[in-house]
Amino acid sequence: MRILHILWLSSLLWLAGCATTNTSGDVASNNRSSSSDSSHFPSGPLSPITAGAAKGRAVAGINAPADLWDRMRRGFAMPDLDNDLVHDREQWYATRPEYMQRMTERSSKYLFHIVEELERRGMPTELALLPYIESAFNPQAVSSAKAAGMWQFMPATGSYFDLKQNVFRDDRRDVLASTRAALDYLQKLYGMFGDWHLALAAYNWGEGSVARAIARNEKAGLGTGYTDLSMPAETRMYVPKLQAVKNIVADPARFNTELPLINNHPYFQSVDITRDIDVSLVANLAGIRVEDFRALNPSLHKPVILAAGVPQVLLPWDNAQVFRKNLEARSEAQNASWTVWTVPSTMSVSAAAQHAGMSEAELRELNGIPPRMLIKAGSALMVPRASTTRSDVSGHVADNGQIAFTPEIVTRRTTVRAGKRETVASIAHRYKVSAADVADWNDLKVSSSFRTGERVIMYLPVRLIATAAARSHAHSRQTAAHTVAVAHTAKAGVSTSHKSSTTHKGGTPSKRKR
What are the structural domains of the chain? 68-255 (1.10.530.10), 268-329 (no CATH), 338-407 (no CATH), 411-493 (3.10.350)
Q: Work out the pLDDT band at 30, boundaries 50, 70, 90.
A: very low
Q: What is the pLDDT of residue 217?
A: 98
CA 481, 487, 491, 493 torsion-angle sign: positive
- Look at residue 63 in the predicted model and tell me its pLDDT: 73
328/293 Cα distance (integer angstroms)? 19
* Highest mean pLDDT, choosing among 35-39, 100-104, 434-438: 100-104
Alpha-carbon gap, residue 410 to 105, rounded angstroms: 50
234 catalytically annotated: no
Q: In this structure, are residues 436 and 446 in contact, taking their beta carbons and an 8 Å threshold?
A: yes
When pLDDT is averaged across residues 29-34 and rounded to a whole number, the result is: 36
Instruction: Please tell me what DSSP assigns to residue 220.
Output: T
Percent of the chain scoring above 70 in pLDDT: 78
State the pLDDT at residue 331. 73
Which segments of 420-461 does DSSP mark as H helices, in order? 424-430, 435-441
User: Looking at the predicted structure, is the pLDDT value of residue 162 above 50?
Assistant: yes
pLDDT at 68: 97
* Mean pLDDT along residues 255-263: 94
Give the 3-state DSSP-derived string for 298-325, with helices as H, strands as E and coil as C. Answer: CCECCCEECCCCCCEEEEEHHHHHHHHH
Cα separation, 295 vs 345, in Å, equals 36
Tell me, rounded to whole angstroms, the distance of Cα 99 from its chain centroid.
Answer: 27
Residue type, 487: A
Which has more confidence, 431 or 336? 336
pLDDT at position 471 is 57
SS3 37: coil
- The answer to whether 413 and 456 have CB atoms below 8 angstroms apart is no
Going by pLDDT thresholds of 50, 70 and 90, the confidence category of residue 474 is: low
* pLDDT tens, residue by residue, 336-386: 999 999 999 999 999 999 999 999 999 999 999 998 899 999 999 999 999
pLDDT, averaged across the chain = 83
pLDDT of residue 473: 55
The full DSSP string for 275-297 is S-EEHHHHHHHHTS-HHHHHHH-
Angle between helices 233-250 and 196-205 (to 10 degrees): 130
pLDDT digits (tens, 9 = 90+) for 443-461: 999 999 999 999 999 988 8
Interacting residues of 380 by C-beta distance below 8 A, sequence separation 6+: 167, 168, 340, 341, 342, 343, 397, 401, 402, 403
pLDDT category at 254 given cuts 50, 70, 90 is: very high
pLDDT bucket at 225, cuts 50 / 70 / 90 = very high
One-character DSSP codes across 472-486: HHHHHHHHHHHHHHH
Q: What amino acid occupies position 436? A: A
* 49: pLDDT strictly greater than 90: no
Q: Which of 134, 328, 332, 362 is catalytic?
A: 134
Q: Which residue has the higher pLDDT, 461 or 74?
A: 74
Q: Does 39 have pLDDT greater than 60?
A: no
Q: What is the Cα–Cα distance from 134 to 113, expressed in whole angstroms? A: 18
Cβ partners under 8 Å of residue 66, min gap 6: 264
Grade residue 209 by pLDDT with cuts at 50, 70 and 90.
very high
